[in-house]
Structure 1
Amino acid sequence: MIKAFYLSCCTLFLSANLPNPDAALEIGAQIPKAELTWQDISGKEISLNSAKGKNGLLVIFGGNQCPYMIRNQERIKQLCVSASKNNIGVVMINSNEATRGEGESMPAMKELAAKMQFSCYYVMDKNAALADAFDANHTPECFLFDKNGKLTYKGGIDDSPGNAETVKVRLLQNAINEMLAGKPVTVSSSNSLGCNIRRRL
Structure 2
Amino acid sequence: MAGTPPVCNFGWEAPGFTLPATDGRTLSLADIKGELGTLVMFICNHCPYVIGIRDRIIRDAGDLLKQGVGVVAISSNDTTAYPADSFDKMRALAEAENFPFPYLYDEDQSVARAYGAVCTPDFFGFNADLGLQYRGRLDAARMGQDPTGGSRDLFNAMVQIAETGNGPKDQVPSMGCSIKWKDKN
Tell me if TM exceeds 0.5.
yes
Moved over 3 A (4+): 98-101
- Corresponding position of 1:75: 56
SS of the residue corresponding to residue 181 of structure 1 reads helix
Structure 1: unaligned runs, 5 residues or longer: 1-22
Deviations 1:84-135 (A, max 9, x none): 1011111100010254661111110011111111110100012211111111
Instruction: Return the alpha-carbon distance in structure 2 between the equivalents of residues 197 and 128 of structure 1.
Output: 10
Q: Could you tell me which residue of structure 2 aligns to residue 15 of structure 1?
A: none
Query: Structure 1 residue 164: deviation in Å?
Result: 5.2
- Secondary structure at the aligned position of 1:113 is classed as helix
Amino acid corresponding to residue 140 of structure 2 in structure 1: D
1:4-33, CA deviations, whole angstroms, 9 ceiling, x for partnerless residues?
Answer: xxxxxxxxxxxxxxxxxxx9872111111x
Residues in 1 aligned to 2:134 and 2:54: alpha-carbon distance in whole angstroms: 20
Match for 1:195 among 166, 177, 182?
A: 177
Larger CA Rg, structure 1 vs 2: 1
Match for 2:143: what amino acid?
A: G
* Higher RCO (Cα < 8 Å, 6 or more apart): 2
Quickly say closer, same or farther: Cα 1:43–1:161, change in 2 above 3 A.
farther
Q: Is 2:91 aligned against 1:110? A: yes
Q: Aligned partners of 2:69 and 2:117: how far apart in 1?
A: 20
Q: Distance in 1 between matches of 2:31 and 2:170?
A: 24
Residues 181-190 or 142-151, more deviating = 181-190
Q: Match of 2:13?
A: 30
> What is aligned with 1:180?
162
Give the aligned partner of residue 131 of structure 2: 150
Q: Does the alignment pair 1:169 with 2:151?
A: yes
Aligned to 1:12: none
Alpha-carbon separation, structure 2, partners of 1:145 and 1:123: 18
Residue 141 (structure 1) aligned to one of 108, 118, 122 = 122
Match runs of 1:8-87 below 5 Å: 26-32=9-15, 34=16, 36-87=17-68
Coordinate RMSD, CA, aligned: 2.1
How far apart in 2 are the matches of 1:172 and 1:24? 14
TM-score after normalising by structure 1: 0.80
Change (3 A) 1:161 1:50: farther
- Bigger fraction of residues in helix: 1
Paired residues in the alignment total: 177
CA contact 1:171–1:187 (8 Å) conserved in 2? no
Deviations 1:133-185 (A, max 9, x none): 11111111100111111111012211224135146332111201211221642
Q: Which runs of 5+ in 2 are unaligned?
A: 1-5
Shift of 1:191: 1.7
Amino acid paired to 1:117? N
